[in-house]
Each structure stands twice: as structure tokens, then as C-alpha cells.
Amino acid sequence: MFTSPIDEIKNRLDIVEVIGSYIKLQKTGANFRALCPFHSEKKPSFFVSPARQIWHCFGCGTGGDIFKFVMQIEGVEFGDALRILAQKAGVELKRQTPEYAQLKSERQRLYEICELATRFFERQLLASSVGKEAKKYLLSRGISEDSVKKWRLGYSPDSWKSLSDFLVSKGYQREEIERAGLSIKNEQGSFYDRFRGRIIFPIFDLNSQVNGFGGRLQPTRHPRTATDEIAKYINTPNTLLYDKSRILYGLDRAKVEIRKKDACILVEGYTDVIMAHQSGTQNVVATSGTALTPYQLKVIKRYSENLILGFDMDVAGDSATKRGIDLAQSLGFNLKVIRLSEGKGGSRNGVSLPPKDAADIISENPQKWLETLQNPKSILEFYFESAFSGRNPKTPEGKKEISKILLPVLKRIPNQIEKSFWIQKLAEELEVKEESIEEELKKVKLEEEIYGLEPEEQINLPPKSRKELLEERLLTMILKTPQNLNFIEKNKLTYFSPQIQEILIKLAEGQKIDSDFFNYLALKAEVEEIGEREILPEIQFCLKEIQFLEIKNKLNQISKDLKKAESEKDSQKIEKLTQEFNQLAKDII
């Protein structure tokens, strides 16, 4: 019988499965490794030990158990990590326990508000006459009844306080409802509902808990015109639970398939994601009304380094899109693009229609969507198509505009053979000499950092003394070969720091050791690659250096004491210190 839910959770959950649900792990010997999700790096330094049920990053120095990992990856306190892992493990946290009382944090109450709001919106979609009208529109877009239920779509009544009044009746304060992003406080101090007369798309975190909402105007109720100032979509503002720069819509449902297919398809909106999943393409996510951010890309990279962009873009006219592409490239993604429509989406009654999105194509012709996915274009092909679209390569102005877009792209190509190919292609398309392109390339200056993001983050860990480094190295080598523990004589233990002394004594006595520092060293020993013949010389070297440093420190202290004794003319003390100094000096020689 377990004494606490913490122990029971640890017993039921395997750390590899928990961490593997967030990031892509690769087996290496008895352990697993990955690129660290907590800092940018090119070479994996993040390790997970199934035997010890711990993790550690040797790049940024973070580590711990499953609770510490969930706290860091989710950005939550211990109570919330306990709740998340209890849910995964199927462990009930009893309401009457002190642990549950601590668990009822503000975050938990906000989650409860979001969940109740979702149920309220769901009922409105199914029961109210206006909601039924909204549902009819969703079905006309091709969204199935099953998808409406699966994605928990809803409708917000076009009234000022219907949701707020409902939540207040359930025991929540109006200030809490505002903090959940569901209401707005006016200048007079009154609150009114943020989402009114809109189709509601609940937004889920990685654990499929609702933490925010997207609201779309209902077209049948709000026919838009060119001068309409009402936003088509609105989102929950940033709250304690929701940050749009960190959220990817649909990732909770897509993460397993992204890892399985080793590719993530990024589309533009909520309906695109829903329709893609409905068609069987389940490795699809969307940004929540933002351009790609560094954090979103890092989240995607936990699952795959292959990213396919599935929305219409113009790199010349859309600097946010260009920035997102550059960010993805700087983070080492293998980037491809699928073109959903050529140019515009046509016209109706003389009015230009927007380009078709993924949802339109899937609704009209699911087979065309699947065929499009089979033939993604390389990012260079996309850049060329986009740069030449709508620009005349025959005129001097057109040549200048096109080259202005493409030259920085060519400059970034690291492989010279590939770069030569695209230079030749650009020269042919513009009908100019390759030498001219190469001359212009020399003038292009690239930013050292791409929009504030360095490809590899430099971590400044607290500096360790030489003695600390030697002690860690010595203990790491002993943990690799426990039979070498007998090389450390008992009378030499005083040379070590108290923490290392305690570990060495417990190892010699066969006692169990359970500390973060010991677990860190044990994992370090497991992942260290060193030949067995090299270990003993390493141990002997470390022992000798530690002894030298300790004796040197003692000699320095004796020298200071001698000076003091000489100034006080204490002959007895001078004689005693001199003998100690000479004896230690022999040991160092």
C-alpha cells in the first residue's frame, strides 16, 4: 500500500512514456536521449534513465523526476503537475485530503470555468434556435456531426451576460471569469461576456483540457462587407492558462500521429484542422491566429523535425510568414510547402473571393487534398513561385523586385552545389548572367540572429571549482566501475567535501542512496562513453589532483597562521606550524 498519491503515481507511470508523450526520444543503450526542450541545441544532451526514473540535461543542467519535468514543460506549479499526472495514472486525489486543498489553486478554478463554459456553449449550439442555425452553417462547411461533438464546438448567445450569469450561478466570481478571458470589465466596473453571437471553438492544452476559446462570427447572422469593422475571429486574451504564442490548435490530438508519421502539417485555422482530421490526416495543427513563434516551433520539434506548411502565403507581402519560415529554417526543420490554390479563389457576382483554404479543398474534394499532400514543394521552389507570381521578369523593375526577394534566400543556402543550381535557375529565369547574380549576392548582408533567435542557445551554468569538477569526475568513474572503490583509502576521505564523503561511505557499506546529486552522477556515469582501460588511470589522476589541492589549501592556511604567529612572536606555535608545514610538503612531493 502506498503512503501517498505521489508514490502511487510514480509506481504506475513510466518516465519514458511520460516524457516521450512530449518530446521525441531515441534509445541509446539502456537510456534514452533527445534534444532538450528547455534550451536550443543541435546535439542531444537530454537523457532519460528508465532504471532510475529520472531525467537530466547535461547542456542546461536541469533534471529531476516526472513531476519536475511536467512542471517545467507545462509551466505549472507542483499541485497542477500532481493533478495532470494523477489523471494520466488513474490515481484519485481525494477531496478531503490537504493535498487536494492545495491543488485547488487559481489555475484549477480557471480550468473549471473553461470546462463549464465549454459545456454551456455546447448546449447552446444544440438547443437554442440561433445555435441550431450556427450548427447548420458548420455542417454546410463539411464538418460532420461526429466532428462537432469530438471538437466540442459550441455557440455563444448574442447577449451581454448569459455566460457570466451561468458561471456565477455555479459559484464563481465575476473577477475569476474575467481572468479566464471570458468576460471584459468596462470603465464603469461592470462585466460583460467577451464572446457574443459567435461559433465557439474550444482550444485545448496538451492534456486535452480547455484553456481558451476562438470565436467566429456566424455568417448567416453577420453578413460581412468590405467596410465591416467587426473582427471575423476573436480569441481568448493571454491568461494564466492561455498564451496564443505558445498554443497550437489540435496538437493534443495530433501529437501521436506527428511522431508516428515523423511530419507535422501546419494549416491556418480551426476548421482546416478539424476537416483535415476528419479526412484521416491527423498530423495537422494550426496557430491560434498568430504568425509562427519560436516557442511553437520548439514544441513541434519535440515530435518531428519535418514541417509542412499548408496555407497560401506570399513571402514578399507577408513579412510574418517570411519570419516564420526563417525561424523554422534556423531551428533546423526540414521545411516543405503545399500550395492549396493557384492565385485567388475566383470571383462571385464580380466580387473577388479569398484563396481556398484546406477546409474548402477537403470539403469539395477530399481526394485532391490527399494528392496535394503527396507532392509538397521544397521551400526554394515555393520562394521562386511566390517571387515570380505577379511580377514581370522581363522588365528591369520586375527583375529588381524578384531578385530582392530571392537573393537573401540564396545567400542562406549552406551547400555550394545546391546554391549554384538555384543561382543558375534564377539567372535563366531573369535572362541575366550568373556572374551578375553572384556579384549582387556579395552585397547581401544577413542578420547574425534571425529575429532574435539564435540557432543554439548558450547556457551559462554556475561555475564549479576545480576540486568540485575532479570530485564529480572521480565519482562518475567509480559508479561506472564499482570495483575500483577500494582504491580510495579510508584515511584519505577527509580530502573530499562532506557530500562526496557521505556518498563514498554509503557506497562502501552498500547503502541505498537517493539524492538528486547522486542520481545526476549515476546517469552521467551511464551515458559517459569511455574505454574500460581508461577508467582506472582517470580515478588515480583525480585522486592525486584532489589530494594535491587539499594539501595546497592546508599549506596556504598554515602559511597565514605562521605569519600571524611570527608577528605575535609565539615561538611554540611557530615550531608546531613549521612541523605541520614540512610534513604536508613531503606528502605533496
Question: In whole angstroms, what separates CA 16 from the centre of its chain?
Answer: 17
pLDDT digits (tens, 9 = 90+) for 461-516: 567 888 888 888 888 888 888 888 887 877 678 888 888 888 888 888 888 887 87
pLDDT digits (tens, 9 = 90+) for 231-277: 888 999 999 899 988 899 999 999 889 988 999 999 988 999 999 99
Question: Is residue 377 classed exposed, middle or buried when 0-12, 13-18 and 19+ CB atoms within 10 A define those classes?
Answer: middle
The pairs formed by 102-105 with CB atoms below 8 angstroms and a separation of 24 or more are 103/79, 105/77, 105/79, 105/80
Taking the alpha carbons of 296, 299, 301, 304 in that order, is the dihedral positive or negative?
negative
Residue 1, classed as helix, strand or coil, is coil
Domain 248-344+362-443 part of CATH 3.40.1360.10: yes
* Cell 561511505 sits on residue: 505
CA dist., res. 511 & res. 274, Å (int): 56
pLDDT digits (tens, 9 = 90+) for 150-208: 999 999 999 999 999 999 999 999 999 999 999 999 988 899 999 999 999 999 998 88
DSSP string, 485-550: GGGS-GGGGGGS-HHHHHHHHHHHHT-----HHHHHHHHHHHH----HHHHHHHHHHHHHHHHHHH
* Cell 556515469 sits on residue: 525
The count of C-alpha atoms lying within 13 angstroms of the C-alpha of 537, restricted to the half-sphere facing its C-beta, is 5
Q: In degrees, to the nearest 5, what angle opens at C-alpha 186 toward C-alphas 184 and 187?
A: 150
- Average pLDDT estimate for 414-443: 90
Do residues 400 and 379 lie in contact, with contact meaning Cβ atoms separated by under 8 Å? Answer: no
Q: Is a pLDDT exceeding 60 seen at residue 453?
A: no
Do residues 191 and 165 lie in contact, with contact meaning Cβ atoms separated by under 8 Å? Answer: no
CA dist., res. 386 & res. 407, Å (int): 14
Residue 255, Cβ neighbours under 10 Å: how many?
Answer: 23
Domain residue ranges in the chain: 5-103, 106-235, 248-344+362-443, 466-588
* Model pTM score: 0.69
Question: Is residue 494 classed exposed, middle or buried when 0-12, 13-18 and 19+ CB atoms within 10 A define those classes?
Answer: exposed
Q: Is a pLDDT exceeding 50 seen at residue 585?
A: yes
- Average pLDDT estimate for 281-310: 87
Superfamily classification of domain 5-103: Zinc finger, CHC2-typedomain (3.90.580.10)
**CATH domain 106-235 topology:** DNA primase DNAg catalytic core, N-terminal domain (3.90.980)
DSSP string, 175-197: HHHHHTTSEEE-TTS-EEES--S
pLDDT at residue 110 in the model: 93
CA dist., res. 557 & res. 559, Å (int): 5
Question: In whole angstroms, what separates CA 405 from the centre of its chain?
Answer: 31
* Cell 481556398 sits on residue: 356
Nearest partner of 331 among 456, 199, 247, judged by Cα: 456
Residue 422, Cβ neighbours under 10 Å: how many?
Answer: 18
pLDDT digits (tens, 9 = 90+) for 94-124: 654 555 454 457 888 999 999 999 999 999 9
pLDDT digits (tens, 9 = 90+) for 513-547: 878 788 888 888 888 878 878 888 888 888 888 88
Better-predicted residue by pLDDT, 351 or 69:
69
Query: Which grid coordinates belong to 548?
Result: 594535491
Q: Give the type of residue at 102.
A: Q
The count of C-alpha atoms lying within 13 angstroms of the C-alpha of 415, restricted to the half-sphere facing its C-beta, is 4
Length of the chain: 589
* Cell 491556418 sits on residue: 268
